[in-house]
Amino acid sequence: MSACRLILLSAVVVLLSAVTFTEGMRFTGTKNVCCYSFHPRPLKAIMVTSYSQTSPQCTKQAVPFRTRKGKDVCAKPTDAWVKELIKVLDIKSGNQGSI
């Protein structure tokens, strides 16, 4: 009977460890932004403070730009104006090719 309890206890510990680990992976300290619609017109560099890349878990890949007013504006990463704006922001911040 004690062997069955030991096996059961071991299984419970392994299961709880797996759940704790996977839940902890979800909260890495970054805001997970997914985009479902895209800004149709180019943004002015003076209006944008930063950018990021959507998570691979999002259904659509996008570049969310953070505006001076704190709004996230999503854009398609393949658009020419998006690539140019990323270059400008990288030069401003001292980064070289983040995306």
Sheet (strand 72-75) strand order: 48-51, 63-67, 72-75
Q: What share of the chain is helix, strand, coil (3-state, %, to 5)?
A: 40, 15, 45
- Statement: residue 79 has pLDDT above 60: yes
Place of tokens 């704190």: 70
CATH of the domain spanning 29-93: 2.40.50.40
62 burial level (CB within 10 Å; 0-12, 13-18, 19+): buried
Question: What is this structure's pTM?
Answer: 0.62
Share of the chain above pLDDT 90, in %: 54
* pLDDT given for residue 94 in this prediction: 80
pLDDT, tens digit, for every residue of 17-53?
555 544 444 444 456 779 999 999 999 999 999 999 9
**What does the alpha-carbon distance between residue 65 and residue 51 come to, in Å, rounded to a whole number?**
4
> Which residue would you say has higher pLDDT here, 21 or 11?
11
